[in-house]
Structure 1
Amino acid sequence: MLEQRELEGLLGHQFTRPELLKVALTHRSYHFENKEKSPGHFERMEFLGDAVLDLVLSETLMDHYPSQNEGTLSKWRASLVNETSLSTLAREMCLEKYLYLGKSEDPQRDNPRPRLLASAFEAVLAALYLDAGLAAVRAFVERKFAERLTTLDASNEYGADFKTRLQEWTQKHHRTTPDYKVLESTGPEHAKIFRVEVGVSGEILGHGEGASRKSAEQDAARSALEKIFEGEKK
């Protein structure tokens, strides 16, 4: 288990109440196996983190896109806080390495369920909010979501439907539609993880993963759009 100090560095904040961060990193499976030394598990923190993230992203979207209506902003926010998006952000932080997991979950530490990662990500935001306030959460969120906010701008009205936007782009530039391919599906039946790649005319544009083939394809399309629009900015 890596030290919490390393995670604090990623969050940009040194906790004055480190027990908050420990709770945010503790899965219920670990808590119930180690009640004598576990301060709690992250499900209540996840509840708070979900609300805090919605607030901060709502404010950020309004600041970034003053001309967009509430319907578009709501769709964009939904695309930013869905399970695929949050679990991807958690993986970018290697959050799974810091989690306290019980015997049933620890064997999958290197390949955890997207739902678990998304929940832990929200719980960590709650811990950051409780220890440092909204400004610290805002700074972290704006830093972590910066690229995705740019992609929303490029995607315009399509919002969360990355597959639709990617298809429009490939039809315009390649006169064909994207090809999605399932690379693998891992895990037990009740917690499968699908990995998908998307390409056009033989060129691989992006990869994605999710708890279903559909969500994995959306994640792959999002990855492809980020690559495309980043290239267009150069």
Structure 2
Amino acid sequence: MNIIKKIFKKSRTQEGGIFFDDIQKILGFQPVSLEFYKKAFTHRSSNKQDIFGNPVNYERLEFLGDAMLSSVIAAHLYNEAPNGDEGYLTKMRSKIVSREHLNELGKDLNLVRFVESKVPVQHFGENIHGNIFEALIGAIYLDRGYSFCEKFIHTRVIIPYVDIARLEGKVISYKSLVIEWCQKEKKIFHYDIFEDNGIDGQRLFGVKLSIDDKIVARARATSKKKAEEKASQRAYFAFQEKMAKK
């Protein structure tokens, strides 16, 4: 039995076979050190610390995974879109690594089931799915290196989800489109935001989007950003033909 197999056996025996098996199925290869992956699913509410008093949670791994993901996607786009300039490549990468898309990837793998937290799952924000997906990528990089990290991203992100032709038509921010159009057409726009508790007492935010002093769209959502985006989307579809000519 070689050294690597001994490490795998030790890791699986000492650190829990079920977690090892589940992670291996997601990764598509055997992890060497489960500690990186356990850290990738540790929420800050757990209040864990290492022997030096440093916090132990997924946030630093999330930062690292974000960089790794961006690097691999950038290299893929550079090779697959030889005619794309810097602006095009940047926009395409933003569509692939958007928070919405990362949340979908985390949900598809059901990563939230591994999270160790003192906060009930139902209280997690939507972005927890994308955050731990990035943390998982960071854990892979520390555990097995760049080549395994790249292979995982190709298998779990690029092959099933990255279709350049489809992504070219994908809108990642209706608000940006509305603002860009208004600025080009010299139109005055304004987002009027107010709190709207709704009939069930849930805290919501209402938005009225005005263009040239005329209200063109209204929306409500659980955050100001979401309400603005929803109102912008409605305005976009109302003015779609005009905006398409920009």
Q: TM-score, normalised by structure 2?
A: 0.59
1:126 is aligned with what amino acid?
A: G
Shift of 1:158: 5.6
1:10 counterpart = 2:18: no
1:83 alignment partner in structure 2: 99
Per the alignment, in what secondary structure is the counterpart of residue 13 of structure 1? Answer: coil
Q: 1:134 aligns with which of 146, 167, 170?
A: 146
C-alpha spacing 1:17/1:155, structure 2 compared with 1 (3 Å): closer
Match of 2:116 in 1: 100
Distance (whole Å) between structure 1 residues aligned to residue 139 and residue 89 of structure 2? 26
Matched, 1:212 2:226: yes
**CA deviation after TM superposition for structure 1 residue 4, in Å:** 4.0
> Equivalences for 1:17-96 in 2 at 5 Å?
17-30=33-46, 32=47, 35=49, 40-96=56-112
Number of equivalent positions = 172
Provide the C-alpha distance between the structure 2 equivalents of 1:215 and 1:13, rounded to a whole number of angstroms. Answer: 39
Secondary structure of 2:83's counterpart equals coil
Residues 75 and 159 in structure 1, CA contact (< 8 A), matched pair in contact too? no
Letter in structure 1 aligned against 2:57: H
2:42 alignment partner, SS class:
coil
Q: In 2, distance between residues paired with 1:45 and 1:68?
A: 31
Alpha-carbon contact 1:27-1:101 (below 8 Å) kept: yes
Contact 2:26 2:109 in 1 (8 A): yes
Matched, 1:121 2:133: yes
Structure 1 residue identity aligned to 2:65: G
What displacement does 1:129 show? 0.7
Q: CA RMSD in A?
A: 3.6
Between the two proteins, what is the percent identity of the paired residues? 25
CA distance in 1, matches of 2:161, 2:231: 17
Are the aligned partners of 1:79 and 1:160 in contact in 2 as well (CA < 8 Å)? Answer: yes
- Cα distance between partner residues in 2 of 1:148 and 1:162: 21
Larger radius of gyration: 2
| Counterpart-to-counterpart distance in 2, 1:115 and 1:133 | 26
Distance 1:217 1:23 in 2: 39
1:117 counterpart SS class: helix
Greater RCO, CA 8 A, separation 6+? 1
TM-score, structure 1 length as denominator?
0.62
Q: Distance in 2 between matches of 1:6 and 1:117?
A: 17
Specify every segment of 5 or more residues in structure 2 that has no aligned partner in the other structure, as ranges.
Answer: 1-17, 178-201, 206-222, 233-246
d(CA) in 1 for partners of 2:78, 2:60: 28
Structure 1 residues 4 and 98, CA gap change in structure 2 (3 angstroms)? farther
